[in-house]
Amino acid sequence: MADLVLTLNAGSSSLKAALFEAGGGSPREVSRANFDSRDGQTAAISAAMAWMDAGISGRRVMAAGHRVVHGGSRFHAPERLTPEVIAELETLVPLAPLHQPECVAAIHAVAEARPGLLQVACFDTAFHWGQPDVAQRMGLPRDLFDAGMRRYGFHGLSYEHIARRLETVDPELAGGRVVAAHLGSGASLCAVQAGRSIETTMGFSPLDGLLMSTRCGQLDPGAVLYLLQHEGRTPDQVEDMLYRRSGLLGVSGLTGDMRALLASPDPHAREAIDLFVHRIVLHTAALAAAMGGLDGVVFTGGIGENSAEIRARVADRLGWLGLSLDHAANGASGERRIDASTKLRAWVIPADEEAAIARGVLEVLAADR
């Protein structure tokens, strides 16, 4: 039987784990599970290890691969984790304060639970690294760009999976111009042209771009200065507000859960949804301009995969670009094409960051041979 690869995707409230067979040139999923991490990554990793031991049936686990949100300016490909690499990842915590601490905590917990197990980091920023220079720069002094202040982009493992999956389900579209929409608690769009990231809505940090569950998305930097200089907010208070108390939650004053907002009669819930859709439409048009046109749209992520209403509202606003949905297909479930055979193709492709992580681990293992 083939050896196995363990993948771990650590979040603030959950840990996603999966096992993949490493044989045959491409990873094949064996099983997956979710674990509650609200009491800390150590407890969640302990539960995941017990689950792994019960499911390996005597086979060897070759390595554990982690989703790491930020790779900074150095890490552009999957990386074997060493004490030096881990220390550098810890320096990136200020750039992704919601996510990076959880990633690093999971790495430490695995090292403690399985000291001899090879660990590999797979980065959400890596897929975007080959973008044109103009897409990576901000309008700041050059020395800051040289020091690492650039537009990194995120959700790269999700977009990598979409690009690969399109090669199988729609090769013609895979070679074209696609806006991929990762819509969930964190949300972003990516312009993917011939399988490569050209532009994306998240930039220097995971705060930028679309409205999200609790994150503000695109924001005039003058608003931050105003909060600091005239509202008497401290930097820590502003950070907490922008990351944890804004977005759908902040605009609605109710919740950051899209399902609850769609079910709510409260007009503030409708305002939050309207702003969410507006930002998606606005940025889709901008990304199409970056590619010089658009051939299709792919929806993924918790909202993108499961909310027919959000997909329909986005498509209705993008009708001028040639997007129209087949309502029966849009209301179904699973991976599927949902356009009405119009100018623009539309797909729903379930997110699978774990598969992208497993491929990254196998790349590292192959390079070691």
Looking at the annotation, which residues are catalytic?
Answer: 124
Q: Which residues in the chain belong to E strands, given as ranges?
A: 4-10, 14-21, 28-36, 61-68, 79-80, 118-123, 177-183, 187-193, 196-200, 296-300, 336-337, 345-348
By CB atoms closer than 10 A (0-12, 13-18, 19+), residue 175 is: middle
DSSP state of 151: -
List all residues 6 or more positions away from 157 whose beta carbon is below 8 Å from its beta carbon: 67, 122, 123, 124, 127, 353, 356, 357
What count of other Cβ atoms lies within 10 Å of the Cβ of residue 145? 16
Tell me how far apart the alpha carbons of residues 113 and 351 are, in angstroms, rounded to a whole number.
Answer: 28
Query: What is the full DSSP assignment across 184-244?
Result: SSSEEEEEEETTEEEEES--SSTTSSS--SS---S--HHHHHHHHHTS---HHHHHHHHHH
Q: Which of 269, 288, 290, 268 is nearest to 280 (CA)?
A: 288
Distances, alpha carbon 169 to alpha carbons 158, 165, 166, 346, 349, in Å: 16, 6, 5, 12, 10
Nearest to 307 by CA among 281, 279, 273, 278: 273
CA–CA gap between residue 338 and residue 350 (Å, rounded): 13
Q: Which two tokens stand for residue 194?
A: 């011939």
The rounded distance, in Å, linking the Cα atoms of 282 and 16 is 32
The amino acid at residue 360 is: G
Residue 26 CB neighbours (<10 A) = 13
Which helix (H) or strand (E) is 280 found in, with range? helix 267-291
